């Protein structure tokens, strides 16, 4: 199913889908939406990308971060070295050609990590109330407001956990299926 039109369109649309899915996640508390639906939308966007471009491409584009590193030269302070390190990674395209292959590191975000992170966040959102000596999963609402979000309470954190988990599960299954 590799057509240029589809793959180009999908490549452009996927970030848009992601923004939309986060929007759905955030509005869930007051309007139709929520973590489950948002996670499904986000996952479907990546699944379409997998259909159009293959799963290697999806994983490489959206779930892998390349980090370039240089050994610290003598005569350069640690601060300077790390500043250089950060700059190098932000302006990566210009300097990538000059670097050795050995000095590249890949940070890959696997769907299983998404699942684990989601479950972790959802559980943590419940334990916050334990610290305040209230029963498990008593929702906490901070006083301040953030312009778009409203008051970010622990239910939102819980929803975020559901979102990540659902996305991780679907991606894991689809990637495994596509691999064979």
DSSP state of 74: T
CB of 3 to another protein, least distance (A): 15
Pick the closer one to another protein by CB: 64 or 151: 151
Q: How many residues at the interface with another protein, by CB under 8 A? A: 49
Nearest CA to 112 out of 34, 160, 173, 157 is that of 173
Pick the closer one to another protein by CB: 39 or 88: 39
Determine the Cα–Cα distance for residues 39 and 161; give it in Å rounded to an integer.
Answer: 10
Q: What residues between 81 and 100 interact with another protein by CB under 8 A?
A: none
Pick the closer one to another protein by CB: 100 or 180: 180
Determine the Cα–Cα distance for residues 91 and 98; give it in Å rounded to an integer.
Answer: 12
22 part of the interface to another protein, by CB under 8 A: no
Pick the closer one to another protein by CB: 100 or 143: 143
Place of tokens 């848009």: 16
Number of alpha carbons in the 13 Å side-chain half-sphere of residue 96:
9
Nearest CA to 118 out of 62, 174, 163 is that of 163
In the complex, the residues that contact another protein under the rule CB under 8 A are 28-37, 40-41, 43-44, 47-48, 51, 112, 115-116, 118-119, 122-123, 126, 136-137, 139, 141, 150-151, 153, 155, 158-159, 161-162, 165-166, 168-170, 172-174, 176-178, 180
């Amino acid at each position: 199913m590799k057509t240029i039109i589809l793959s180009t369109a999908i490549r452009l649309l996927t970030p848009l889908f992601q923004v939309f899915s986060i929007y759905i996640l955030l509005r869930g508390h007051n309007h139709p939406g929520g973590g489950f639906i948002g996670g499904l939308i986000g996952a479907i966007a990546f699944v379409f990308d997998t259909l159009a471009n293959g799963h290697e491409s999806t994983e490489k584009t959206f779930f892998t971060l390349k980090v370039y590193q240089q050994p610290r030269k003598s005569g350069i302070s640690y601060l300077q070295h790390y500043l250089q390190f950060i700059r190098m990674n932000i302006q990566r395209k210009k300097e990538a050609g000059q670097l050795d292959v050995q000095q590249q590191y890949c940070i890959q975000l696997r769907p299983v990590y998404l699942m684990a992170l989601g479950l972790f966040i959802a559980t943590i959102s419940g334990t916050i109330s334990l610290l305040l000596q209230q029963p498990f999963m008593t929702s906490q609402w901070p006083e301040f407001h953030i312009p778009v979000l409203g008051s970010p309470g622990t239910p939102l954190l819980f929803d975020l956990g559901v979102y990540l988990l659902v996305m991780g599960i679907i991606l894991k299954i689809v990637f495994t299926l596509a691999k064979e």
